Amino acid sequence: MPLPVPYLPNTAPFTPEQRAWLNGYLAGLFGDANVVGAPSASAPAAPAPPLEPLLVMFGSQTGSAEGLAKRVGKEAGKHGFAPRVLALNDFAKAELPAAAKLVIISSTWGDGDPPDNAVSFWSWLSAETAPRLDNLRFAVLGLGDKNYAEFCGASQKFDARLEALGAKRLLARGECDVDYEATAKAWVENLWPVLRGSAGQASGVAVSPSPAVNGSHDASGAPVTPTYTRAHPFPARLVTNRKLNRSGSGKEVRHFEISLRDSGLTYEVGDALGVVAQNDPLLVSELLAALGFTGEEQVKTSAGVDEPIRDGLLRDYVITHVPPPLLQAFAERGGDPTVKALLDPARKTELDAWLYGRDVLDLARALPRARFTAHEFAGFLRKLQPRLYSISSSPKAHPGEVHLTIGAVRYEAHGRQRGGVCSTFLADRVVVNETPVPVFVQTSHGFRLPADGDRPVIMIGPGTGIAPFRAFLEERQTVGAKGRNWLFFGDQRRASDFYYEEQLTAMQRAGFLTRLDLAFSRDQADKIYVQTRMLENAAELWAWLEAGAHLYVCGDARRMAKDVDAALHEMIVKAGGRTPEQAEAYVQDLKTDKRYQRDVY
């Protein structure tokens, strides 16, 4: 009878490298014992070959790059490596000048910038004082979004700078769009052979199997509980759709409540909910008419299934933005020399101005002479991606439900009314308790409450940035956390834009919400923002941080988050008596200790 192969569980008191080595040793020892003619179990076995060190480092804002890095680290032991998985800001622990092999997986934030847990790494790597890395061999994988000009900008910088410092590239840099799983899987499969230095090595990283769908069975015939993911979202029910703004507001922010009953989906505060939306049927009909299609022409989905182009434009393709290949095709076929001339790289600024506010329908109407087959046209379009929204509820306070706080995007451009795909889908086209809303949970690895409920927390979330902090407060109140709570919130006008006012002021009256500082920008002649309130309360804010408070920011990445970060540095200089350089180091220490976390978009 074959001997069972023992293994060390993750709870064993060893480092990941030690566990990987010992499990490899045990597998080799007992594998030999089970081979016919092998020495008996009592005979001494040859020791397993030592595992080769491998650094796997990540830069991650929402958790996708971190999750992928941890999966690569988990698989490394099967390929003969003892991995260390670290955030890029932990470069000092990594001791890169002495390292042999490095894999970097990183997203990009803002205008080609590194995510928060990679900022210090980039400062170190890009400095003139950065050490030579001649002994290092590396590979870089970037996660990004092609809707942004600086697609995978951070990973490009890392890749180029490592080479400039003498490191040798093992594999061409990988670049993944929002729907990254398949591209990342293929890149990692090519990684293992080059890491081992032989194309003959077995390759391939284990990827979780596709989730079971309703009615499926396992090999034994037993029913399988369905698991819902990004690839297979749960058809949830919308049970509440309520406008949060009062009369007189210039905004439309809505509170949505979605039932997760019978889904098996769970979440924690700080997580996001993915919503798979559909395009506006009216926009689809107008686009079909402009293209001269009936809507019944057959096209292939990304899964290779035939469907009418009307269904594809409704569910599968982005039609609210113009992808460069489609613009090129329209310009070449449309017979308009003016538009074609804008494709000159030297006229990029003019082209961007012309494209601003235009969608695929505008393009089709501007260049009506351009003609395509349905299959050809669909081939130019990008895949419609799910939208991720910060969850605004605690599962402990609202079991079986998930709440969202979303601003409906509506505007006029080039003589037409426009709307955000997902925000108007939920606000206008989903019928409460009728229309299925496909959803999945996106786990956050870097936006979490402190494990110690006695720790004070400071939350800065203007506008819809209030979402995760409503969840944080509900969670801490439900579990009886004793730590102090300070919320900075603001919008345009208190009378019309104070979201969750009754709930928040009730928490304040009860003494649970220790401080509530408000900044309504248009209630006075001089505009006031949350960063204004931060600086007004610099001394107390500094005292909270010195007492161990965790600081959280949620909202707009391009302006608000940068302004809040600048105010934080100024506050440390002003109230903490630090130099700007010391303030920078202080903020970096907050990030390293996970006491400064941001959920920005």
Query: Per-residue pLDDT tens for 490-504?
Result: 999 999 999 999 999
Give the mean pLDDT of 310-334: 95
pLDDT value of residue 198: 41
Please list, in sequence order, all residues whose beta carbon lies within 8 angstroms of the beta carbon of residue 423, skipping any fewer than 6 positions away. 406, 407, 408, 409
Tracing tokens 């920078």 back to the chain, one arrives at: 584
Q: What is the mean pLDDT of residues 180-207?
A: 71
Relative orientation angle of helices 501-509 and 467-479, to the nearest 10 degrees: 40
Listed range (45-54, 79-88, 404-413) with the worst mean pLDDT: 45-54
Residue 44 above 60 pLDDT? no
Q: Residue 422 — φ and ψ, nearest 5°?
A: -80, -40
At residue 34 the predicted structure's pLDDT band, cuts being 50, 70 and 90, is very low
Return the minimum-mean-pLDDT range out of 39-43, 118-122, 249-253: 39-43
pLDDT at 117: 87
Is the per-residue pLDDT at 211 higher than 80?
no
pLDDT at 216: 40
Q: Look at residue 226 and tell me whether its pLDDT is greater than 80.
A: no
Look over the chain and give the mean of its residue pLDDT values, rounded to a whole number: 88
Going by pLDDT thresholds of 50, 70 and 90, the confidence category of residue 212 is very low
pLDDT at residue 219 is higher than 90: no
Token pair of 350 as six digits: 């003019």
Q: What is the pLDDT of residues 424-475, one digit of tens each?
A: 999 999 999 999 999 999 988 789 999 999 999 999 999 999 999 999 999 9
Rounded to two decimals, what is the model's pTM? 0.79
Rounded to 10°, the helix 538-546/560-576 angle is 80
- Average pLDDT on 530-558 reads 96
Three-class SS of residue 71? helix
**What pLDDT score does 154 carry?**
93
Average pLDDT of the segment spanning 218-231? 61
What does the alpha-carbon distance between residue 206 and residue 204 come to, in Å, rounded to a whole number? 6
Q: Radius of gyration (Cα) for the chain, nearest Å?
A: 27
Q: 39: pLDDT confidence band, cut at 50, 70 and 90?
A: very low
Q: 163 burial class (0-12, 13-18, 19+ CB within 10 angstroms)?
A: middle
pLDDT at 384 over 60: yes
Checking if the pLDDT of 591 tops 50, the result is yes
Taking every pair of C-alpha atoms in the chain, what is the biggest distance, in angstroms?
89
| 3-class DSSP state of 568 | helix
Residues 450, 456, 460: CA angle, nearest 5 degrees: 90
| Position 416 pLDDT exceeds 70 | yes
Beta bridge partners of 176: 143
Task: Provide mean pLDDT across the span 246-271.
Answer: 96
Q: What is the pLDDT of residue 335?
A: 87
Of 76, 83, 88, 17, nearest to 446 (Cα)? 88
Among 536, 548, 530, 542, smallest CA distance to 573 is for 542
Give, as one character, the DSSP assignment of residue 44: P
pLDDT tens digit string along 506-534?
999 999 999 999 999 999 999 999 999 99
Rounded to the nearest 5 percent, the helix, strand and coil shares of the chain are 35, 20, 40
The confidence score (pLDDT) of residue 218 equals 42
Report the DSSP beta bridge partners of residue 298.
Answer: 308
- Mean pLDDT check: name the lowest of 190-204, 291-305, 445-459: 190-204
Per-residue exposure over 560-572, b if at least 16 CB sit within 10 Å of its own CB, e if not: bbebbbebbbbbb
- HSE-up of residue 3 (Cα within 13 Å, Cβ side): 19
Instruction: Report residue 207 as tokens.
Output: 């990827």
Structure tokens of 286? 């107008």
Q: For 162-172, how does the pLDDT look when each residue is reduced to its tens digit (9 = 90+)?
A: 999 999 999 99
pLDDT of residue 491: 98
User: How high is the pLDDT of residue 15?
Assistant: 58
Name residues whose C-beta falls within 8 Å of residue 289's C-beta, 6 or more positions apart in sequence: none
Half-sphere exposure of 374 (CA within 13 A, CB side): 21
Q: In this model, does residue 199 exceed pLDDT 50?
A: no
Q: Give residue 446's pLDDT.
A: 82
Q: Is 505 helix (H, G, I), strand (E, B) or coil?
A: helix
Average pLDDT over residues 337-341: 91
Mean pLDDT, range 20-36, rounded to an integer: 49
Residue of 202 and 53 predicted with greater confidence: 53
Q: Is pLDDT at 80 greater than 80 in this prediction?
A: yes
- For residue 407, count CB atoms less than 10 angstroms from its CB and return exposed for 0-12, middle for 13-18, buried for 19 or more: middle
Q: Output the pLDDT for position 24.
A: 54
